[in-house]
């Protein structure tokens, strides 16, 4: 890793988007304007379509990876292509001999001010799977909803528990979240009522993006699993706890989570994250053979935080700080387990980590855990308190990795909650 990699572009010391990062996203210059692929660099976005047209990215002639409304085509091009573009960009923006250093007109065409652009969902989400791989989170939820003495179910320690999510409702940061309505069951009533959710919650997660199509009936061996991952995003897996509690037995969460799952707009590549590889937890019991992996390098040291910006406020409070490295099951184990019975994967599959909770109360990754199901409301700096999320509140999740003076950040996923729809049912 070349720590001296600096750009002739002005990049703030604490920027998430350094020359070591180079995350990919989809942008347009007007809300309905042409969508295309860009890379975030400092306060700028590199318009890759211009560099592709000028054949400055070390790609074969006449590729069309970047005149696209999603990253899927570029992702499908494979690791050699990703690395080539990364090297080309690092050269273009650091070398004194770079054509961009010399041709200011071209540079102006290539670099667009990030704050003036519109960011869109970076991938066409083929399938969305959500895992449940934080031991602390699974223990907390099991304690609250099932049996504190046997909070962790027997299968949890043997396999990365996961379920199919709803791909159509994956949205990008910035999308407003309409408070969901549905059936909720109050303890003092025999039948459920129809109501806006009273327990709207966030879930702090990351997600990885699948890079290769695989065939039905052909599992991915664990020692090849990392090659199937393109990069990572932040994920807020919005959840309605009251809808969830009534509906989820026996087939799992459905309407409690299908109203929105929000991701950050910039996909941080696994290549950019390699310097931050670290040990995951020692797994006990030792996993079955198909899940066996050297734990010393199967996680990443990524700092995560959640802020709550209350309705009408201008001061966001940090309500959670934790780290990705606590996750019990690795991304490779998740991916391999997903395919072991024969399920095929697709370029653009999004796979959520599950809520990431640390061991201490200030590291819990959901309000359900932070307020212990509203029994210990959070005190905000504006004097208000929160058990769950109120209309007008915004949730902001951020993440970064930092080591030896090198910083690779995720930016943020931020959404504001709008009031529920006013239903007017026709009289029968």
Examine the residue annotation and report whether 54 is marked as an active-site residue of this protein: no
Rounded to an integer, what distance in angstroms lies between the CA atom of residue 198 and that of residue 192? 14
Least distance (Å) from a second copy to the CB of residue 291? Answer: 9
Q: Is 237 annotated as a binding residue?
A: yes
Least distance (Å) from a second copy to the CB of residue 204? Answer: 18
Q: Is 328 annotated as a binding residue?
A: no
Rounded to an integer, what distance in angstroms lies between the CA atom of residue 378 and that of residue 370? 7
Provide the pairing of β-strand 36-41 with 111-113: unpaired
Residues in Cβ contact with 186 at an 8 Å cutoff, skipping those fewer than 6 apart = 193
Least distance (Å) from a second copy to the CB of residue 257? Answer: 9
Among residues 104 and 191, whose Cβ is nearest to a second copy? Answer: 191
CA nearest neighbour of 135 among 156, 162, 163: 156
Residue 241, phi then psi, degrees to nearest 5: -65, -35
Among residues 259 and 328, whose Cβ is nearest to a second copy? Answer: 259
Q: Which of 20, 54, 120, 137 is catalytic?
A: 137
Burial of 131 (0-12, 13-18, 19+ CB in 10 A): buried
Q: Is 381 annotated as a binding residue?
A: no
Q: Is 146 annotated as a binding residue?
A: yes
Among residues 113 and 425, whose Cβ is nearest to a second copy? Answer: 425
Among residues 42 and 160, whose Cβ is nearest to a second copy? Answer: 160
Residue 117: Cβ within 10 Å count: 20
Among residues 62 and 249, whose Cβ is nearest to a second copy? Answer: 249
CA nearest neighbour of 40 among 413, 399, 415, 409: 409
Q: Is 277 annotated as a binding residue?
A: no
Q: Is 203 annotated as a binding residue?
A: yes
CA dist list (Å): 157 to 138, 205, 220, 326, 336: 11, 20, 21, 15, 16
Annotated binding site: 130, 132, 146, 203, 205, 237, 244, 248, 257, 261, 355
Known binding positions for Mg(2+): 237, 257, 261
Which residues form the catalytic set?
A: 137
């Amino acid at each position: 890793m070349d720590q001296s990699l600096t750009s002739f572009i002005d990049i703030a010391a604490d920027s998430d988007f350094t020359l070591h990062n180079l995350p990919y996203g989809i942008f347009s210059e007007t809300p309905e304007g042409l969508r295309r692929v860009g890379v975030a660099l400092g306060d700028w976005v590199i318009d890759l379509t211009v560099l592709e047209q000028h054949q400055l990215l070390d790609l074969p002639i006449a590729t069309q990876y970047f005149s696209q409304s999603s990253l899927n085509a570029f992702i499908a091009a494979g690791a050699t292509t990703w690395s080539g573009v990364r090297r080309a960009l690092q050269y273009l923006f650091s070398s004194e001999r770079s054509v961009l250093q010399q041709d200011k007109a071209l540079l102006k065409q290539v670099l667009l001010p990030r704050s003036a652009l519109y960011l869109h969902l970076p991938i066409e989400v083929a399938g969305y799977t959500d895992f449940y791989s934080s031991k602390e989170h699974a223990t907390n939820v099991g304690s609250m909803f099932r049996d504190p003495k046997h909070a962790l179910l027997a299968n949890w320690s043997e396999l990365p528990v996961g379920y199919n999510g709803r791909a159509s409702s994956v949205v990008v940061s910035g999308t407003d979240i309409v408070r969901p309505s549905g059936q909720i069951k109050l303890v003092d009533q025999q039948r459920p009522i129809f109501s806006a959710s009273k327990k709207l919650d966030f879930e702090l997660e990351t997600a990885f993006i699948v890079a290769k199509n695989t065939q039905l009936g052909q599992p991915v061996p664990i020692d090849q699993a990392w090659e199937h991952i393109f990069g990572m995003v932040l994920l807020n897996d919005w959840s309605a706890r009251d809808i969830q509690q009534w509906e989820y037995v026996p087939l799992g969460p459905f309407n409690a989570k299908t109203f929105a799952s929000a991701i950050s707009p910039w996909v941080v590549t696994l290549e950019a994250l390699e310097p931050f590889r670290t040990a995951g937890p020692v797994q006990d019991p030792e996993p079955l053979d198909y899940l066996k992996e050297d734990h010393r390098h199967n996680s990443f040291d990524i700092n995560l935080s959640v802020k709550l910006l209350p309705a009408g406020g201008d001061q966001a409070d940090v309500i959670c700080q934790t780290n990705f490295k606590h996750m019990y099951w690795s991304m490779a184990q998740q991916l391999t387990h997903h395919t072991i019975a024969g399920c095929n994967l697709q370029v653009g599959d999004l796979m959520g980590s599950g809520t990431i909770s640390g061991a201490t109360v200030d590291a819990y990754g959901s309000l359900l855990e932070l307020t212990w199901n509203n029994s210990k409301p959070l005190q905000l700096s504006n004097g208000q308190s929160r058990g769950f999320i109120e209309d007008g509140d915004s949730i902001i999740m951020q993440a970064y990795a930092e080591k030896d003076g090198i910083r690779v950040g995720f930016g943020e996923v931020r959404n504001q909650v709008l009031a529920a729809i006013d239903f007017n049912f026709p009289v029968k």
